Structure formats: structure tokens, C-alpha cells
Amino acid sequence: MPSRRDFLKQAALSGAAAMLGSLPQAEASGDAPLALPAGRTLEYWIQADSLPWILAPNGRDSMTGAAYDAAQSSFVTVGYRAYSENWAALLPPDPGIGENSGIPGPILRARVGDTIVIHFKNNDVRPKPAAHSIHLEGLVREMENDGFWRSSEPNLPGTAVYPGETYTYRYTAPASAAGAWLYSDFSASRRMKGRGFDIRIYRDVPVYTRAKPQEPSELDAPVGAQFGLFGMAIIDDENTKPADRENVVIFHDLYSDDLPMLVQDFDCINGRSFLGNTPTFQARTGERVRWRIGSVGRENHVFHIHGHRWRMNGAFTDTHLLAPGTTATFDYLEDSPGEWLYHCHFTEHIMGGMAGLYVVS
């Protein structure tokens, strides 16, 4: 029996219109048929880079006035960055891929019907590097493109890409993929010592194994994602209205329990902590402003913007609850000039740095 990929390939070759008549309807996820007219093939060259990272580059929290010197808010992390073909040159910041500084990883964009090919290279050169992978939600893939490592089959291709190695992942975007999706490291570097797991060395790379199997463990968040190996994919379709601004926001936390090099916990937006350090977004009245928000880690967050409301799930609101691994998209016509706060509404999180500025002129 031909695989789904073979089927899509065949559909692309022989013309989607001819194939659609014989398609099983409402297959797999959602109501939309999986096969679509063949779109583009978009290639991304992505590297997991180890990087020095400063959570509060301005050295202070402009909400509370607290000071954070570089030693207090720096660590060596790992983030995804986009490169030109064959990982030849780091791509500059661009509205398409975003800042491309590492946290979050580059925005991956496609339209329904497109194929996304990710050429991934692990360039983790820390003294104790780890295997990494890419696990991208939302799109159609064969199992060998899922990037999900498990100890029962530790050598499945693409699930633990070791330092210096490469792997190519391939996905297609069915109609049900329209929207925003998260991607993250789901490799062998799972879980941390001290939470019921021990470290063993596998092919010179530390691997985390369960020490006391009978002990209830917390959610197995991938440790690479805890460091900053995550990003967002945005898939448009014919219903996606053009927007004048598109603000990508990922809420996440860094815990000193997990990352002992940190002097304290940090509540972060896109890899930065505290007002004045987190992204400042701009807009003008009359513009259509779109927010693509998501959350990674172990905490729930409540996204909120001062002075604004938007329609979501049939009702107007000014907050949105994000559980780990979820995203949301909403937009509005901007009509409220001012220097507004956007933030997580959990008290501990806003005080821990999860707040930013939204400036409307």
C-alpha cells in the first residue's frame, strides 16, 4: 500500500484535480482532505547553536527598578538559528523569520499545500554538548520526521542528532494546518537530574535516564526546550487576511532547578526577561495588528494586553489562557494610541519578568 507521502507525491505529479475524486474524505485530523494541489517546497537550513545569552541585556527591570548585572542574568544556552544553504551563513533578522537570534528559533512560514524541508545541523559546542532534534507540531509527516526520541529505540534517525551531525525533516501542510504551531527539541537530552532522573553517557553525550521508575515524575518537558530550543511555524491559507503587523510572542520559564548556572528563576518572553528587555512591539492606529502567541514549558500563562480587546471563539476578550504547547492567533484594527503593557497575568510571572511594551502611535 502506498504511503501518504507517496500518495501526495503522486497527486502532485498527476495533477491534484484528477486525484481528488478518489480521495478518502475527512481523513485523519480534521474535516479537510489531506491532499491538496501541489504547493511550493520550502527549504530551511537550521542549526542548533550554543550561544552566550543575556536574559536582561539592559541590566534592569524598568517596572520594579531592580538591577540585574550581566553575571546575574547570563548563561550559555542552545537555540535554533536559520542559515543560508548548507548552513553557510547566518541569516540576518527579517520580518519573515524574525530576529533569528536563537530564542525563539526562526519563524517557519508556509502556505497550505506547501512542503517544508528542514535541514538540521547540531552545532552544540558546549563542553558537555547534547543530542538535539526538531519536533514540529501541526503538519503532516512520516514517523521518521517526528524527531521524538525514546530509550527503547535510541537510534531512530532524526530523534537524536549528535553534535556535528545533520538530519533532514520533511512535512506537508494540509488545509487543517492553517494557523500557528510550535516546534522544539524532543531528543535524547530529555529531563534533568534531580527530578527522578540520572545522567548516563551515550556516545559521549549525556543522556538522562529515569532513576526511580516507581516514582511519579513530572511532565517530561524536553530539556532542550527548557534551554531555548523552540520556535513557531506559521501556516497561512486563503482565509488569512493580510496584516500590517504580526507579533510573535512565546512565553517560557527558565528555572535554576533545571539550569544550575542561573542565580534565580526567570519568566521570559522570547528569551528575555523584565520590562525594557523583552520585545517592544510597535503599531499605528488604523493598522491591522495580528498576535501569534504560544507557551513552552511547565506553566500556564495568561496573555493580556492593556487597553485592547479582540474577538476569540465568538466573544470579545482581553486575555487568553495558554497551557504548555499551545498557541493562539488573533487580530484587531488598532485604535488605541499609547504605551501599553502586554504581560502574563499570573502575579509571580509578571513580577518574574514576563512583561513587555506595546507602543501605538
Per CB under 5 A, residues contacting Cu ion are 301, 344, 346, 349
Minimum distance, C-beta of residue 345 to Cu ion, in the bound complex (Å): 7
Shorter beta-carbon distance to Cu ion: residue 232 or 354: 354
Shorter beta-carbon distance to Cu ion: residue 103 or 161: 103
Shorter beta-carbon distance to Cu ion: residue 136 or 225: 225
Shorter beta-carbon distance to Cu ion: residue 320 or 349: 349
Which letter does DSSP use for residue 107 in this model? P
Shorter beta-carbon distance to Cu ion: residue 149 or 358: 358
Minimum distance, C-beta of residue 106 to Cu ion, in the bound complex (Å): 24
Which amino acid, residue 83?
Answer: Y
Minimum distance, C-beta of residue 354 to Cu ion, in the bound complex (Å): 5
Minimum distance, C-beta of residue 343 to Cu ion, in the bound complex (Å): 8
Minimum distance, C-beta of residue 322 to Cu ion, in the bound complex (Å): 8
Q: What's the CA gap between 36 and 14, in Å, rounded? A: 12
Q: What's the CA gap between 87 and 120, in Å, rounded? A: 9
- Please report the DSSP string for 336-359 in residue order: --EEEEEEE-SHHHHHTT-EEEEE
